[in-house]
Structure 1
Amino acid sequence: MSFSDREKHLIRAAFAWGQITQQEGYTLSDLEIEKSVLFRRLLGGRPPLAFPPPLRHGFPWYDVIEGRSEHLVSASQASPECSIIAPGCKLGDTCILIDGAFWRVVETIREHEEYIVEWGQYPMQWRLRKHWEVNYEMTQQLHSFRKDNPNTEMSFDNYLSQKEYREFRIDDDQTVWLCEWQLNRISLSGWVWVGAELPTPDYRLASVFDDDQGPVILGEESKPNGEAWLRIEDATSEYRFVKLQGMFEYQTLIASSASDLRALLQYLQEESADIEVLDWSENTTSRRFALPAQLIPLEDLSLNEMSFDLVPDNAFSI
């Protein structure tokens, strides 16, 4: 019996799905595989993450780990009561329910208003913040009702004093405000966690060139030439680099234009089967990965915002 390439791919995806779900303690069934987000991910050719992602309304939330940095969510009141069932939490840790899953609170910026949260085993952090906006339609409706019913007494005190987070408030000017919770990633994105984690380099790295955001190029410390790493992403005091192909004279690399550096990235993605990625924090390597080139989202990263203009394109024009 022979199988087509499509059938082989389906079998491999189903086998991988079965292994992962069994390791996580789930019961296997035809119904579960049909609605599985993980199975669809495997069918699409994307490997599983190193650790389970958070759930959102009962389904794996890959985008919060790998994708965009900002999300609108629903959140509960922070409390240590559910720490025993929150992933990655110790008994007594403060947790908060975000879209149906408990996240760990590592810092309270403002009680009931703003927190720094983490999920599971990921070395990543998010800022959870309440944001208030005027709802003009509700405000107009309230004013119209009061105008048409001047003698009617209204009170929202019972609702607004409930322990749960309030969805709206009315100020002294009878303006209606609605709140939404914003979850913003403040760490480097987690798309690297589909790759193979490698040991840190066996030589010391140092910044060869810095801009206003931080190091742009890393090279071998105290050497005029050698391997080079180019920054592709940054977040606060963390930076992410890819290893460029070949050996480089660092002063020549620093003199490269923005278009030259982007050409090096394009060549790297087109010609390399696997690409090394390095995360850098506090002047040292925090982790290192190898990923298939097609899994590195260079086109989605904000490379246009990176200050690659070490020397402007027209610096030597007449």
Structure 2
Amino acid sequence: MSFSDREKQLVRAAFAWGQITQKEGYTLSDLEIEKSVLFRRLLAGRPPLAFPPPLRHGFPWYDVIEGRSEHVVSASEASPEHSFIAPGSKPGDTYILIDGAFWRVAETLREREDYLVEWGEYPMQWRLQKQWEVNYEMTQQLHNFRQQNPDANVDLAPGNGQREYSEFRVDDDQTVWLSEWHLTRIGLPGWVWVGKAVDADPAILELAPICQDQGGPLVLGVAGAERGPGWLRIEQADGDSRYIKLGEDLEYKQVIASAVTEFDRLLQGVRGEVLEVMDRRGDDVLRCYQVPMHLAPLEHFDFADVNYDLVPDNAYNG
């Protein structure tokens, strides 16, 4: 009996799904595998992340780690009482319920308005912030009601200041504002967690900028050399930069020229089964990763239209 490639992929995905779910303490059933976001991910050829992702309405939420940086969510009041029921929590920790899952509050920036939150073992943080926008329809309805019912005892903003409720507020001008919670990832996206974190090679610590743009060091290499290992910046967020290794023995003059005019071609020239990735903050190396090449979203990066005012640190003559 022979199996098609699709059937083999299905068996591999089901086997991996069973191992992961059993390790995390879930019971196995046909019904669960049919609804499983993880199984569909495995079936599409994407491995699990290094740590279990956050949950959203009971389902794994991969996009908040790997994808878009900002999401509109529902959130509860932050409270240390949640630590008694939040999975993996420590008594006394403050938690907040976001779209049906408990997130740990790392810092309260403004009570009931602004928090830094964390999830599980991920070395990442998100900012949970309540934002207010004018609702013109409700404001007009309130004005119409007051005009039609001048004797009605509606006192939404008594005394000084505004009256605020959990989801809306009315200011002294009788303008109605509605609130939304926005969850925004701080720092670089987590697509690297399909790979594995590794210790930084000592040679990485010796890298220096050989080409800069308005965002800072664009290409890293060996200072003063004409050839050597080269790293290219592909992402920036909140002061952190992400670099990928282009190769071990590169001609720096050619790499710098390609970074200016042929960014896509430079990315397409990266070879090998594993992509080496490095996150930095200034001159400090934060983390290093090895990511399977076919899982690295290099096609999403195109900075050719923003890499202007490039200044090579080791400019060449001729």
TM-score w.r.t. the length of structure 2 is 0.87
Aligned equivalents of 1:201, 1:43: Cα separation in 2: 34
For residue 110 of structure 1, what is the amino acid of its counterpart? R
Aligned equivalents of 1:137, 1:46: Cα separation in 2: 45
For residue 59 of structure 1, what is the amino acid of its counterpart? F
Q: Which runs of 4+ in 1 moved over 6 A?
A: none
- Deviation by residue 1:23-55 (Cα, 9 ceiling, x = unmatched): 111111111111111111111111111101111
Aligned equivalents of 2:300, 2:116: Cα separation in 1: 26
3-state secondary structure, aligned to 1:93 = coil
Aligned equivalents of 1:48, 1:306: Cα separation in 2: 33
CA deviation after TM superposition for structure 1 residue 67, in Å:
0.1
Q: Which moved more, 1:251-260 or 1:57-66?
A: 251-260
Q: Which moved more, 1:206-215 or 1:145-154?
A: 206-215
CA deviation after TM superposition for structure 1 residue 185, in Å:
1.1
- The question of whether the paired residues in 2 share the 8 Å contact of 1:209 and 1:216 is answered with yes
Task: Give aligned-pair identity as a percent.
Answer: 62
What's 1:30 paired with?
A: 30
- The question of whether the paired residues in 1 share the 8 Å contact of 2:74 and 2:181 is answered with yes
Q: Which moved more, 1:71-80 or 1:273-282?
A: 273-282
Tell me the C-alpha RMSD between the 2 structures: 2.5
- The question of whether the paired residues in 1 share the 8 Å contact of 2:56 and 2:101 is answered with yes
Residue 5 (str. 1) matches residue 5 (str. 2) = yes
Q: Which moved more, 1:218-227 or 1:272-281?
A: 218-227
- The question of whether the paired residues in 2 share the 8 Å contact of 1:256 and 1:311 is answered with no
Aligned equivalents of 2:259, 2:18: Cα separation in 1: 49
Where structure 1 has 5 or more consecutive residues not aligned to the other structure, the ranges are 313-318
Aligned equivalents of 2:37, 2:155: Cα separation in 1: 45
TM-score w.r.t. the length of structure 1 is 0.87
Where structure 2 has 5 or more consecutive residues not aligned to the other structure, the ranges are 313-318
Task: Label 1:194 to 1:87 Cα distance change in 2 as closer, same or farther (>3 A).
Answer: farther
- The question of whether the paired residues in 2 share the 8 Å contact of 1:257 and 1:309 is answered with no
3-state secondary structure, aligned to 1:247 = strand
What's 1:215 paired with?
A: 217
Task: Label 1:267 to 1:12 Cα distance change in 2 as closer, same or farther (>3 A).
Answer: same
The 5 Å alignment of 1:1-318 reads: 1-86=1-86, 89-155=89-155, 166-203=166-203, 204=205, 205-220=207-222, 223-256=225-258, 258-268=260-270, 271-301=271-301, 303-304=303-304, 307=307, 310=310
Aligned equivalents of 1:190, 1:68: Cα separation in 2: 10
- The question of whether the paired residues in 2 share the 8 Å contact of 1:87 and 1:103 is answered with no
